[in-house]
Structure 1
Amino acid sequence: MQISRRHLLSFVPATALLSAVHPVRPARAATDAPGGAGLLLSNAIAIYAGTAASNTRPEVAAKLTALDATARTWLAAMDRAGSGELFAGLPLGTSDPNLSASYQHLYELALAYRRPGPASDLQGNEQLRARIADKLTWLHATYYGDQSRGYYGNWFTWEIGISTYVSKTLALIDAPAELITLYVGSMDAYLRNGTNGDVNLDSRFHTGANLVDITANRVLQGALLGDDARIQKALQDQFTVFATIDPYNLQHGVTDGYYADGSFLQHASVAYTGSYGKALLSRVVQTIKILDGTPYARTDELVGVVNGWVEHGFAPLIFEGWMMEIVKGRAVSRPGTGYDDVAVIVEAVVDLADYATTADAARLKAFAKYTARPTINPNSFVSPVSIARFADLKADPAIVPADLNPAASSTAYNAMDRTVHRRPGYAFALARNSERISKYEYMSGENLLPWFQGDGAHYLYLSGQDQTRSYGVDYFTTVSPYALAGVTAPVETRRSIPELYGTAYYDRPPEFTPSSEAQNSYVYFPTGTNAYSGGATLGTYGVAGWVQSDDFAYAHRAGLPSDFVSYRNAEATKSWFLFDDEIVVLAAGVGDADRAVTTTLDTRIAAPAAALTITGGRRNGDSWSGVGAVDPRWLRYAGDGVAVGYYFLRPGEVHVSLQSVTRSRRVIRTSNPDTQVTKQVFGLTATQPAGATRTLAYALVPNATESALQAYRHGRLGVLANTTRMQAVQHLGLRLTAANTFTRGQHQLPGMSIDGPASVLVRRGAGGQVEVAVSDPTTARDTITVTLWAQYLRAAAPTPGVQVVRTLTGTRLTFTTRHTYGASLPIKLLRAW
């Protein structure tokens, strides 16, 4: 379900739309406030601390035990604190992470104080409550309240992080009115990227997940103050994130949020469903729960929007309970797993189901049960109520686990340059970039070696596996950043930002400061400089194409300071053809004038003791095994419970390697524990010297057996073109032709011509039926024309956006691609009698 911004404005009373920003007024008892602020506050407390009913459930006991243990840990640390510390080991005064952590630990103490359920000496302990209030007062007086001394380090700490912990803590301890008023005034003052202490929708800091965090805090603050106008204004601002982003009609210049194709962006250009996207999902579902029973907003339509996010934005990116790497930004370097990511989504889905329509609720519950594999840890849920609700869902035999994804699908997230292709037994995920989407994200010492993560890097997930053995933090730790699966990279050595500049960012004020736009554009998440990145889908099949480019920083190096370091990329034009049993990859124009180049066809990791075999067949029919250089017809990697085949559609030497690699997780993130990881790393690469140009054509065959590869018929797949102008493949078994045309003008294929640039799929069925799908990977074309020669066809039904004209020589199809932002336009044609 999509929703417009104008429609969202009808969700709050007109008085709220006209309300001015009020100064903080003294707090009053929220339970006495008009408009349901008291109920809102009670709902919020129930989310974080649980209810009497939820907390007596045996399934919640472990959560409560952990909560109490955490509180005791911090009480002991408080007792050991030295000068300039609230908790031992967290010196205050110059470290904003330490200040935020101190507030976090007070919040964790407040949870132990407020939670209902089994008795504890901390529960309802007035001495503990007084101590928390006293320490809040001390922190404000000593380290937080002085605006001239605060706001060092990361803006997020001051505008979101501390405010989140403080707002919840004040609610949990029923803080005295003067403390609430004191803190809310300071929290408003620290909202420096806002306007007069309130949200600024024109600020690049107040978008997407960040906006939801800020406004959720302000809703809670309004409830604490009994300030109805503050609550209304915060909700008005938060509801803007529910509107589908229209890239041709941006509101407040904001590109962050959800797009019509299910894409989610944060930081203007980073594909981020699996990190910021899940955080946004969690907070908006909490908003729906907080508003339950209050008169502040109608939530039925909002629930429908969020249900659409789950089905079309999240579900295709979750494979057997694992969140795919392609949408996690810098979070790929964190030690948490893809299973941990999905636990956040499952909690949100379980809660959302209680507010959805009957049919949607049934689908959401079935998906939660299907997705929550044994890998899930319900104790990681935010709310004890959600743990109890999840336990009920698992125990209900009427809820049959079911994926929201069909068994076979091909999803083009062209608004964020991502592709996901799924079949029973595997999922293939592809990361691209363009002048619209970032090549990678580095920030705050996270994801130190990111350069090629958006340069055609792919991830092949196989069914029935523990994905931590193949991907996650250990993949990026042990695999060379130049040899990620699918990547073409120059042979050179690059240095991380801390290595280059001695800090976590490039420091040259006033342009380059930690949170400046220049830092974002040139250091943290530079876009590519290529227009062509996208692809079409036709039913369950797909094609994607991409032109490799330099990043934004290198392209603008002439205008940057002399000590700023940027890196030039190699060249390549690539296509991926997404079928049933194979993914066919073509690459043309691969090379570099001055440097040798390596293209990694695939990379996989395995446990140190795993028994791995690498076998293959040469073109003359001889068998081959082991490592080294070979010109194969096929190869197979197997072991550690997985098997992948490689079938080569053109002759050419490749190199097979298998090596044991040991590295610390700290090489990819400065704050990671210094955990040494050892993996066997398999690499399949094609190399070439400086000045050489190469083409590649091969198929990835998931779960392949040796017998299947030996019998793999070369005639099953035909490479029709593999140049920098056009790449095309014909799959005879599927009667499917797929093509990417990269340049202007007419491009000829057997039986058709394509007006490029374009991405096209054509499938022929029984009785002369033909299906065609077209997309514009440049997002800039008004129309694309495909002519089917000597074929006289008519539309099976009127198809908006497609004009069918019969000519003397065949059938001309004109697709209106203006303002479609890379979306596929399909049409079904029948023989014209």
Structure 2
Amino acid sequence: MDITRRRLLSLVPATALLTAVNPAPAARAAETMTAMDADPGQLLTNAIGIYAGTPESNARTEVAAKLTSLDNTARTWLAALDTAGAGELFAGLSLGTSDPNLSASYQHLYEIALAFRRPGPASDLQGNEQVRARVAEKLGWLHDNYYGDQSKGYYGNWFTWEIGISTFVSKTLALIDAPAGLVSTYVASMDAYLRNGKDGDVDLDSRFHTGANLVDITANRVLQGALTGDDARIRKALQDQFTVFATVDPYNLQHGVTDGYYADGSFIQHASVAYTGSYGKGLLSRVVQTIKVLDGTEYAQGDDLVGVVQGWVEDGFAPLIFEGWMMEIVKGRAVSRTTTGYADVAVVVEAIVDLADYATGDDAGRLKSFAKFTSRPTINPTSFVSPVSVARYADIQADPAIVPADLNPAASSTAFNAMDRTVHRRPGFAFALARNSERVSKYEYMSGENLMPWFQGDGAHYLYLAGQDQTQAFGIDYYTTVSPYALGGVTAPVETRKTIPELYGTPYYDNPSHPLNFTSSSESQNTYVYFPVGTNVYSGGATLGAYGATGWVQSDDFAYASRDILPDDFVVYQNASATKSWFMLDDEIVVLAAGVGDKSRAVTTTLDTRIAAPGAPVAITGVRRDGRDWTGTGTTDPRWLRYTDGGVALGYYFLQPSQVSVGLEAVTRSRRVVRTSNPDTAVTKQVFGLTVSQPAHTTRSLAYALVPNATESALRGYQHGRIAVLVNTSRLQAIQHLGLRLTGVNTFTSGHHNLPGLTIDGPASVLLQRRADRSSTVAVSDPTTQRDTITVNLWAQYLRPESADPGVEVTRTVTGTRLTFTTRHTYGRSLTVRLLPAW
């Protein structure tokens, strides 16, 4: 990625962004480029080539399976047309009250149209005028009976009417070269259904027209403009879409929008949900398709857009992909779907493969190498949207000059502080952590998806081990069989909570007569039901090279804090209390917790949870604190424990005495317990849980290390002294790794926090590493995002700066060295200074 370009784009307002990517200012773009200069027909040709393929791509043997899949799918739906009953277009999809069924009906017409239009090996569907006429006739029938009447439409989910149906219709009209009358009829109706827009068009001030949703809507409108030859429509749609390329500046929001990509690689959708792995990948896919649609036309914007999107891939997506698997921490409610993390990454790989074709030089090489590195046997190219992408993917795979290479360093620690997520990577594992704050949601529930999400953002972690099939460790079966109160890393009160459908009998809370106006997609529904934020301000941490420190204060959600203004029948839940830190090193992740407890309820802290197949050779071994070997299950005070499942292992080393309960049980549940529309498929897993329980009216602390891939001999020889717990309170948590000469500190309260040789003022996250040559490096972050400066005093150390980030000031004092970090408007970003002895 061109960092300078990206930073430039992040500084200009949305209306000025077009100046950066277009020779003419945005306000004059439509005037300076006339319709005569453009060729909407080429846009249609490009679009059809994306979805149906080209003669060149479809002649490739590697694409044959994709074409066969297209043809078989079309035949399936043609047969379903023949057997449809009253009130159906396709058998089994009743119409009139179900918006998902209506959307699916349009999707199936699109899938038939693909088989009609695709070039390549001949089939009985290809170019078949009877098939084309049938699709056109059914489009008309759906419009006349179930779509065109605005007074009867727009029930259910707004997305169906403003995005979903329009996406399928626009593509289908293009694929069948629909009659002008049918096109104009549908375009008028699609405009009318943009009810969250303005005058039948996009409204950049609408909370519905942001991020991935905005890209979907505008991509549809570009295609509609190409169908109607409406140059002004195309330009306005592109102008609106290009606003998503501007990096979100939380201190200077455009149109009040927080959705989009941030400077640290974070992606937010739905105002406050960490969403790279679902909406983010959808946005990536559609944006790359826009680049492809514009290719070779006057509408194309050169390589500026390509450079920005490559930045998203390198900074935003790559850290979240481990051995071809998309991490759970950025999928919102999509974690409850049966789609695997490998399938999620297939969408990203297709976008990267296409993007590489538009990048140049080393940029293109890095993208192709990463696509090849990520394209493990779990990636199925037949799932790609475009046959052209399948052919490009095959070229990359077959080219010996393209060497597979990760975009991630072998060792890295990434603080996605703008979305309260942390990723720490080493060659044998990746550690992913989900946090929350008053800025970022605790979880996302919506539309009967992710029914039991309550603690998914409360310090839940996921430890991915190299070489493991992640479908056997995480994904849908993890959430199905693991108790929602016992996700790894979570502290939860002992109580039973009810899902939204159980509480209210519907997938949402319905009370339109209340002053807050609770309807299915209202702002109050979002704020209090679908994705409530936390009430804490402290969530974040510092990174120093490949090491990281993260701190977080557990809090209630916004709904509980607002209970006095909510309806009497609205159910809210109070959280337990805890202050937690994670110090992420080479061989271990050290976890400290203090102030853990609750005034009225018992509390359980789950140190870790793993799942395994029913017949997997799970074994748990360990040593008690008194030196005796430990095996089995039950409650004990261990020095260390080791979990193994075939070829993977994970160690737990306890840095202070803890009465730990070890459980291993077979759990069978239906995947429907986490999502109402999932198949009622029973799943059985061995569930391993490592928990600490405490009664009501008590508080306690915990200190332990997660040691990925630990051998038994390594744990037996693990020296307690290599990790020194310096302080573990609700005010201050700090450790020192003696071998790395690294000190990690999180301070949570105001005032001065004193450690040997070190003082920190107020809330901060600090990493300090001293080297044998007496140099030191210090990294500081403001996890509250609210401080103007942070001061660190190094006592009896007289140091001078060798290098420093902008905003770092080094002052020699009578008692040592004072470091002042200007954290104003850094939004949790780490500031680093390297220091040398003053003499």
TM-score calculated relative to the size of structure 1: 0.98
Q: 2:730 aligns with which of 724, 731, 750?
A: 724
* Equivalent position of 1:17 in the other structure: 27
Q: 1:290 aligns with which of 293, 297, 300?
A: 293
Q: 2:667 aligns with which of 656, 661, 664?
A: 661
Deviation at 1:84, TM superposition (A): 1.2
Deviation at 1:424, TM superposition (A): 1.1
SS of 1:800's partner is coil
Alignment of 1:373-392 (within 5 A): 373-392=376-395
Deviation at 1:20, TM superposition (A): 9.5
SS of 1:829's partner is strand
* Equivalent position of 2:281 in the other structure: 278
* Equivalent position of 1:200 in the other structure: 203
CA distance in 1 between partners of 2:755 and 2:427 (Å): 32
* Equivalent position of 1:28 in the other structure: none
* Equivalent position of 2:339 in the other structure: 336
Partners of 1:288 and 1:299 within 8 A in 2: no
Residue 825 in 1 paired to residue 825 in 2?
Answer: no
Q: 1:639 aligns with which of 640, 645, 650?
A: 645
**CA deviation map 1:707-731 (0-9, x unaligned):** 1001000110100000000000000
CA distance in 1 between partners of 2:239 and 2:837 (Å): 53
* Equivalent position of 2:745 in the other structure: 739
Deviation at 1:318, TM superposition (A): 0.2
* Equivalent position of 2:408 in the other structure: 405
Q: What amino acid is aligned across from residue 18 of structure 2 in structure 1?
A: L
Query: Relative to structure 2, which stretch is displaced further, 629-638 or 5-14?
Result: 5-14
* Equivalent position of 1:815 in the other structure: 821
Partners of 2:342 and 2:379 within 8 A in 1: yes
Q: What amino acid is aligned across from residue 725 of structure 1 in structure 2?
A: R
Q: 1:709 aligns with which of 701, 715, 722?
A: 715
Partners of 2:804 and 2:832 within 8 A in 1: no
Are the structure 2 counterparts of residues 335 and 719 from structure 1 closer, same or farther at C-alpha, using a change threshold of 3 Å? same
CA distance in 1 between partners of 2:53 and 2:37 (Å): 25
Residue 534 in 1 paired to residue 547 in 2?
Answer: no
Q: 2:39 aligns with which of 14, 36, 39?
A: 36
Partners of 2:640 and 2:653 within 8 A in 1: yes
Q: What amino acid is aligned across from residue 304 of structure 2 in structure 1?
A: E
Partners of 1:19 and 1:233 within 8 A in 2: no
Deviation at 1:619, TM superposition (A): 1.4
* Equivalent position of 1:25 in the other structure: none
Residue 508 in 1 paired to residue 508 in 2?
Answer: no
CA distance in 2 between partners of 1:595 and 1:650 (Å): 24
CA distance in 1 between partners of 2:648 and 2:532 (Å): 35
Partners of 1:12 and 1:296 within 8 A in 2: no
Q: 2:433 aligns with which of 425, 430, 441?
A: 430
**CA deviation map 1:456-489 (0-9, x unaligned):** 0000000011110100000000000000000000
* Equivalent position of 1:239 in the other structure: 242
TM-score calculated relative to the size of structure 2: 0.97
Q: What amino acid is aligned across from residue 65 of structure 1 in structure 2?
A: T
Deviation at 1:58, TM superposition (A): 1.1
Are the structure 2 counterparts of residues 541 and 15 from structure 1 closer, same or farther at C-alpha, using a change threshold of 3 Å? closer
SS of 1:767's partner is coil
SS of 1:367's partner is helix
Deviation at 1:767, TM superposition (A): 1.8
SS of 1:285's partner is helix
Q: What amino acid is aligned across from residue 17 of structure 1 in structure 2?
A: A
Partners of 1:648 and 1:699 within 8 A in 2: yes
Q: What amino acid is aligned across from residue 643 of structure 1 in structure 2?
A: A
Partners of 2:804 and 2:834 within 8 A in 1: no
* Equivalent position of 2:87 in the other structure: 84
Deviation at 1:645, TM superposition (A): 0.3
SS of 2:751's partner is strand
Residue 677 in 1 paired to residue 683 in 2?
Answer: yes
Q: What amino acid is aligned across from residue 481 of structure 1 in structure 2?
A: P
CA distance in 2 between partners of 1:627 and 1:565 (Å): 37
Moved over 4 A (4+): 12-16, 18-21
Residue 161 in 1 paired to residue 170 in 2?
Answer: no
Partners of 1:34 and 1:228 within 8 A in 2: no
Q: 2:453 aligns with which of 450, 455, 467?
A: 450
SS of 2:288's partner is helix
CA distance in 1 between partners of 2:806 and 2:70 (Å): 56
Q: 2:17 aligns with which of 8, 24, 45?
A: 8
CA distance in 2 between partners of 1:502 and 1:666 (Å): 16
Query: Relative to structure 2, which stretch is displaced further, 642-651 or 795-804?
Result: 795-804
CA distance in 1 between partners of 2:246 and 2:52 (Å): 31
Partners of 1:646 and 1:701 within 8 A in 2: yes
CA distance in 2 between partners of 1:282 and 1:797 (Å): 40
Residue 325 in 1 paired to residue 335 in 2?
Answer: no
SS of 2:390's partner is helix
CA distance in 2 between partners of 1:376 and 1:741 (Å): 43
CA distance in 2 between partners of 1:544 and 1:343 (Å): 31
The gaps in structure 2 that reach 5 residues or longer are none
Are the structure 2 counterparts of residues 16 and 242 from structure 1 closer, same or farther at C-alpha, using a change threshold of 3 Å? closer
* Equivalent position of 2:136 in the other structure: 133
Deviation at 1:83, TM superposition (A): 1.3
Deviation at 1:14, TM superposition (A): 5.0
CA distance in 2 between partners of 1:640 and 1:473 (Å): 21
- What's the C-alpha RMSD, in Å, of the aligned pairs? 1.2
CA distance in 1 between partners of 2:441 and 2:287 (Å): 26
Deviation at 1:613, TM superposition (A): 1.1
Residue 55 in 1 paired to residue 58 in 2?
Answer: yes
Q: 1:783 aligns with which of 778, 785, 789?
A: 789
Q: What amino acid is aligned across from residue 178 of structure 1 in structure 2?
A: G
Q: What amino acid is aligned across from residue 8 of structure 1 in structure 2?
A: L
Q: 2:396 aligns with which of 393, 396, 399?
A: 393
Q: 1:748 aligns with which of 748, 754, 772?
A: 754
Partners of 1:619 and 1:631 within 8 A in 2: yes
Deviation at 1:556, TM superposition (A): 0.2
Deviation at 1:8, TM superposition (A): 2.0
CA distance in 2 between partners of 1:34 and 1:793 (Å): 63
Q: 1:148 aligns with which of 144, 147, 151?
A: 151
Deviation at 1:15, TM superposition (A): 8.3
Deviation at 1:674, TM superposition (A): 0.6
SS of 2:187's partner is helix
**CA deviation map 1:128-173 (0-9, x unaligned):** 1111111111111111111111111000000000000000000000
SS of 1:440's partner is coil
Deviation at 1:641, TM superposition (A): 2.3
SS of 1:766's partner is coil
> Identity of counterpart residues, as a percentage?
78
Alignment of 1:546-557 (within 5 A): 546-557=552-563
Are the structure 2 counterparts of residues 19 and 539 from structure 1 closer, same or farther at C-alpha, using a change threshold of 3 Å? closer
Q: What amino acid is aligned across from residue 670 of structure 1 in structure 2?
A: T
SS of 2:724's partner is strand
Q: What amino acid is aligned across from residue 444 of structure 1 in structure 2?
A: S
Partners of 1:80 and 1:87 within 8 A in 2: yes
Partners of 1:19 and 1:229 within 8 A in 2: no
Partners of 1:458 and 1:485 within 8 A in 2: yes
The gaps in structure 1 that reach 5 residues or longer are 22-31
Q: What amino acid is aligned across from residue 812 of structure 1 in structure 2?
A: R
SS of 1:576's partner is strand
- Give the number of equivalent residue pairs: 823
Residue 485 in 1 paired to residue 491 in 2?
Answer: no
* Equivalent position of 2:373 in the other structure: 370
Partners of 2:792 and 2:819 within 8 A in 1: yes
Deviation at 1:640, TM superposition (A): 3.0
**CA deviation map 1:511-548 (0-9, x unaligned):** 11111000000000000000000000000000000000
Q: What amino acid is aligned across from residue 370 of structure 2 in structure 1?
A: F
Residue 120 in 1 paired to residue 126 in 2?
Answer: no
CA distance in 1 between partners of 2:255 and 2:617 (Å): 56
CA distance in 2 between partners of 1:650 and 1:154 (Å): 51
CA distance in 1 between partners of 2:150 and 2:29 (Å): 27
SS of 1:385's partner is helix
Deviation at 1:797, TM superposition (A): 2.9
CA distance in 1 between partners of 2:122 and 2:741 (Å): 68
Residue 796 in 1 paired to residue 802 in 2?
Answer: yes
